[in-house]
Amino acid sequence: MFRGTKIVATLGPASNDLSTLERMISAGVNVVRLNFSHGTADDHIARAALARQAAENVGRTVGILADLQGPKIRVGKFADGAIQLAKGDRFILDAQCELGNQERVGLDYKNLPRDVQTGAVLLLDDGRIVLDVERVDGDEIHTVVRVGGKLSNNKGINQQGGGLSAPALTAKDKQDLKTAVALAADYIAVSFPKSGDDMREARNLVAEANGHALLVAKIERTEAITNLTDILLASDGIMVARGDLAVEVGDAAVPALQKRMIREARLHNKFAITATQMMESMITAPIPTRAEVSDVANAVLDGTDAVMLSAESAAGQYPVETVEAMARVCAEAEKSYVNSLDEELLNREQSQIDQSIAMAALFTAQHIGVKAIAALTQSGSTTQWMSRVDSGVPIYAVTPEESTRRKVSIFRDVFPLKTGAIPANREAALAQAERALLEHGAVQRGDLLLMTIGEPLGKPGGTNTMLIVRVGEYSR
C-alpha cells in the first residue's frame, strides 16, 4: 500500500530490543528518534546501532533523529516528592531554594526571576497548574494559584505569551550534539529556538564537529512563530511541537498555526514533522481514539512530511500496533488529499536548474500518467524539491550513498533505493537504475517511467536532464 507520509518513532524501554524494532520498521517506521532528554550518550549510541541493525535485517532504510533536550525550565525537587496546591494559595518560586515544601520550590533556571514581571502568568506541568505573579522580590517570584493541582518534582514552567530568555542550546545540548554527530545522526532537532540565530549557532557547532546532519527547528515558543521565516531559512526542516507551543500560545491557536507552519515549510523547500500526543491513548490501549485518527489524518491533509510518536513507541504497551495504526490512517488520508499541483507550480519561482527539472518532472509525471519517478542522485536535493509539491506519483531516490538514502527517508513521497556506484556512462547508469526499480517491484516492464539525471554524472546537485522511457528500454 502506497504511503507517502513518513512515520517517526521515539525509541525507549518499549522498543529497546531487536525483535520489536524489526517489527516496528516492517510496520512502517521510516525514522527513529533518540530523545536526549533521557539516557546517557552510551544509551543513544547503542540504540542507534540497534536501529540500524534492525533496518538492515528487514531490508529497509531508516533515518536517525537526535532530539536535543533544550532549556526545559523546571521547578526543583520537593522534600516529600510532591505537594497539592489549591486555588488562592500563595506560592513562591525561589531560585535559592534547595528542597521545596508547601510554601516554595526551587528553580533549575536561576534567571527566571529576572524574566518575569508582576502580572505575568506562569503555567506549570504543561498548563495543568496556573500561577499569577503577584511580585518579584530578588530571587523569589511570589505568586497566587489560579488553577491548582498536584505539583511534583521537576515539572516544566512556561510563561503565557512567551518571553523567557533561556538560550536554545545549553551546555548539555552542545555536548549531546557532539554525541549525535559521533553516532552519525541524520537529523538533529534543536529545542526551543527563538530565531534563526539559534539554528545558525547549531549549524556552526555541527560543522565544527565534522557532522553533516540536517537541522530541525522545534517550533514551541511564541517567539518562534514571530520569527518563523528566519528560522525556516536557517534550518533544513521544522517540527510542529504542539505540546509546549500550546501552553505558550493557547491550545485553540495551535491547529491554525500547524497549517501555517507546514505550508510555509513546503514553500521554503523545508520538511515538516508534526508531533505530540498523536496516538496518546495507545500508550495503554490497542486501538486509537477517533479523535486521534482525525488528528493524524488532518496532519497528512495539511501536507506534513512526517507524523511522530513519542511515549506511544518509547514506553507504551503497543508500540508495533501503534505504528500499524498510524500507517493505516496516513495511507487512507492520502487518498483524499486534494492535488493542486498545477496551481502550486504556477506560484513558484525556480532559481536553480535542479529545482526546475524537479518541477518539470512532477508536472509531466502527473499529466502523462507515469508509474514512478526515478531520480539518480548523489545528494538527494532533487528529490527534496520534488517532495515539496504533491503529484501522487512515488519518487525513488536512486543512489549508492547510504547517508543520502537515510537523509531522504523523511521527505514525503520519496523512497530511498540502493544501487551500485553510478557508472560513468549515461546509458549504463540508466540501465542500472531501471534494474533496481524492477527488482524492488516499483515498476514492471512496459510501464512509463520518468527519470532525472545529472550530466556530467556523479556531481552533487547537478541534475539537469529529464527522460521519459518505457521500462525495459535500457535494461534489456
Active site residues: 33, 74, 218, 276
Is-contact 308 187, C-beta < 8 A? no
Distances (CA, A) of 125 to 67, 152, 224: 21, 9, 21
Taking residue 19's Cβ as centre, other Cβ atoms within 10 Å add up to 10
Query: Distance between CA atoms of 462 and 209, rounded to whole angstroms?
Result: 27
Query: Distance between CA atoms of 163 and 161, rounded to whole angstroms?
Result: 7
- Residue 274: phi, psi to the nearest 5? -105, 130
Per-residue DSSP letter, 169: S
In the numeric block, the cell 494559584 is attached to: 145
What is the number of alpha carbons within 13 Å of residue 117 lying toward its C-beta? 3
β-bridge pairing 6-10 and 31-35 = parallel
* DSSP assignment of 241-262: EHHHHHHHH-GGGHHHHHHHHH
* DSSP assignment of 383-446: HHHHHTS--SS-EEEEES-HHHHHHGGGSTTEEEEE--PPPSSHHHHHHHHHHHHHHHTS--TT
Q: By three-state DSSP, how is residue 18 classified? A: helix
* DSSP assignment of 23-38: HHHHHT--EEEEETTS
> In terms of Cα–Cα distance, which of 212, 211, 200 is closest to 178?
211
Q: By three-state DSSP, how is residue 339 classified? A: coil
Query: Distance between CA atoms of 424 and 82, rounded to whole angstroms?
Result: 67
- Residue 247: phi, psi to the nearest 5? -65, -40
β-bridge pairing 372-376 and 99-100 = unpaired
Is-contact 345 357, C-beta < 8 A? no
104 Cβ contact partners less than 8 Å away, ≥ 6 residues apart: 91, 92, 93, 94, 97, 140
State the maximum Cα–Cα separation within the chain, in Å, rounded to a whole number: 81
Cell of 112: 527566571
Summarize the chain as % helix, strand, coil (round to 5): 40, 25, 35
Query: Distance between CA atoms of 475 and 473, rounded to whole angstroms?
Result: 6
